[in-house]
Structure 1
Amino acid sequence: MSQQDDAEREFDLRWADGAEHKEPSARARMLAARWKENPPEPVPFRGDPRPVAPRRSSWVSTTIVLGIVAAVILLLGYARFQAPY
C-alpha cells in the first residue's frame, strides 16, 4: 500500500468518525423493533440464582500451604538421609 493510499484512508476514517449521525447496527435495529412489540422483563443487576459458598479464612489457607511446605522439606531431608553416599 502506498503512502497516498494511507493518506486517503486516514482522511476517510476521520471523515467517517466525524459524522454527526451514525446509523445503528442491524442487531440494534432488530432488537429495537422486537422490544417495541414485546419489551424485555427487568433483570436484577448481576443476579445470581445460586447461593455462594462461604470462603475459607485466610489463616486456614496459610496453615495448609505452610504445612505442605514443611512436609515437602521433611520428605526431601528424609530421602537425602536414606540415600547412599
Structure 2
Amino acid sequence: MPERDDEEREFDIGWADGAEHKEPSARARMLAARWKDNPPGPVPFRGEPEHRGSAGRSSWVSTAVVLGSVAAVIVLLGYFDFRPY
C-alpha cells in the first residue's frame, strides 16, 4: 500500500501548469509592495558610457600585462621542465 500513496503524491506538472491562478514569487511581492508607494524611475536599456580620459592607453596596458604574464609562465614552465634532476 505505501507504493500507491507515493504514486498519488507525485507532482503532476501538467496539473500545475493548468492552474488558473499562479502566485507571484516572494521577490515579486516584495518589489510590488515597495513600488506601490515609491515607483522606480525610468531606466535606459544601456546607460551613458563613462568618460575615460585615456581609454586607448589602458586597454594596451592591460593587454601587455596579460601577454607578459603568459610569457613569464611559459618561460618558467620551460625552465622547470628542462632542469636536470
Q: Percent identity?
A: 48
For residues 67 and 13 of structure 1, what CA distance do their matches in structure 2 show? 57
Q: CA 1:8–1:59 in structure 2 vs 1: closer, same or farther (change >3 Å)?
A: same
Per-residue CA deviations over 1:61-83 (Å, capped at 9, x if unaligned) read 44222211232245x32xx4xxx
Q: Distance in 1 between matches of 2:8 and 2:63?
A: 60
Corresponding pairs, count: 73
Task: Name the residue aligned to 1:16.
Answer: 16
Q: How far apart are the structure 1 equivalents of 2:74 and 2:11?
A: 62
Which runs of structure 2 are paired with 1:38-77 in the superposition (5 Å)?
38-41=38-41, 42=43, 54=59, 55-57=62-64, 59-74=67-82, 76-77=83-84
Structure 2 spans left out of the alignment, 5+ residues: 53-57
Q: Tell me, which stretches of 5 or more residues in structure 1 are unaligned?
A: 81-85
RMSD (CA atoms): 3.6
Q: Secondary structure at the match of 1:23?
A: coil
- 1:18 Cα deviation from its structure 2 partner: 2.4
